[in-house]
Amino acid sequence: MKISRWIDTEFDNVECPHLKVDGTPESTTIFPGEEYQHVSWIHPLIASVFDAARERWDSPILVTSGIRCQAYQEVLRKKGLRTAEVSPHVYGVALDIQSQRAVDRGIDPTLLVHDSKRIAELIHKVDPGIRIFCARYAFKFVHMDAAYLIPDPLPDGRPKPESWKAGVRDFP
């Protein structure tokens, strides 16, 4: 299913793997008038910023993670992966991405770092409000999100994390 010009669930890992297994997508309304199922919904702003960065990159960018249910988020945390207790991925406003050419070369570490920095810079140029993290992940991938769009309190009643402000990034 095409999510945007450059995001396609056939090739990208946009859908929550946990929900693919148990097959019971949750329906949620986060943004007024936009009910979605947790399987493959990505906020239009994230999709359009990704597409614009991809156009400028002029080479495939792999989406390694898109929407996640909270249960899958907990699975990742229990595996010891560096993931937030409250994640923008759960709300459809985040993508983790990698340079396809670095992956095609067997995860070439030098190329991966170089490409992650360049892709992060492109995303920032397209929309300086998008939060971008790659240094904290040793530049193995780029996390991009628009967590600042999520209303406070969160749909489950918890307060929105204070760090979910526009324009936060961890690269020079």
Residue 44 included in any domain: yes
Inter-CA distances, 63 with 14, 89, 119, 153, Å: 7, 12, 12, 28
Residue 36 included in any domain: yes
Summarize pLDDT for 59-69 with one digit per residue, the tens. 999 999 998 88
Q: What is the pTM of this model?
A: 0.87
Q: Where are the beta strands (DSSP E) in 11-161?
A: 27-31, 34-37, 61-65, 94-99, 131-133, 142-145
Residue 168 included in any domain: no
Residue 98 included in any domain: yes
Residue 21 included in any domain: yes
Residue 5 included in any domain: no
28 bridge partner residues: 36
The reported pLDDT for the residue numbered 10 is 77
Helix, strand, coil abundance in the chain, percent, nearest 5? 35, 15, 45
Q: What are phi and psi of 152, to 5 degrees?
A: -115, 125
User: Total domain count for the chain?
Assistant: 1
- Can you tell me the mean pLDDT for 75-79? 89
* Residue 60's CATH number: 3.30.1380
Instruction: Say how far apart CA 149 and CA 82 lie, in whole Å.
Output: 23
Residue 3 included in any domain: no
Domain that holds residue 26: 17-149
Residue 163 included in any domain: no
